[in-house]
Chain A
Amino acid sequence: MRYVVAFGRFWWDFVVGDDWTVAAGVAVALGAVAVLADAGINAWWLLPLAVALLTGISVWRQASSSSDDDYHVSG
């Protein structure tokens, strides 16, 4: 069982990495694109915009947490 968990954790870290919200956001955006396409709307613009938004939020949040860490270390 321990090996199965370790194997699963390895692949989770490998593909998803340190911010699961980005992966969840990508899944939601892809689902929305598919629903819109099914309704006859060619929403080619949606995924790039979602990717930019998710990336921006993720890096800003990581930068904030590393700034907080620096602050606590030096303070």
Chain B
Amino acid sequence: MTTKQYAVTISFGGQLANNVEYQPQAAMESLLAHARDKFGANNQHTLGLFTEAGVELQPYANSIESFGITPGEVLYLKPSTVRGG
């Protein structure tokens, strides 16, 4: 018997985190926290996870599988606001 692997790639400004494993029933928040940790962005609460089409994967309390995420998919970490002054 084989166990199905659930993993996605997360891209952040072109940097990659490959094979980020997840549990389909886990909250999307867990994948977001994992992504922030992978990129050394733990304190960055303006970051969200998006599909390639630019759809944010929220509410983050919902399960990962509820968004229709499939293993091998590329997700994007992106700040909600980019500005300076």
| A and B interact physically | no
A→B interface (CB under 8 Å): none
B→A interface (CB under 8 Å): none
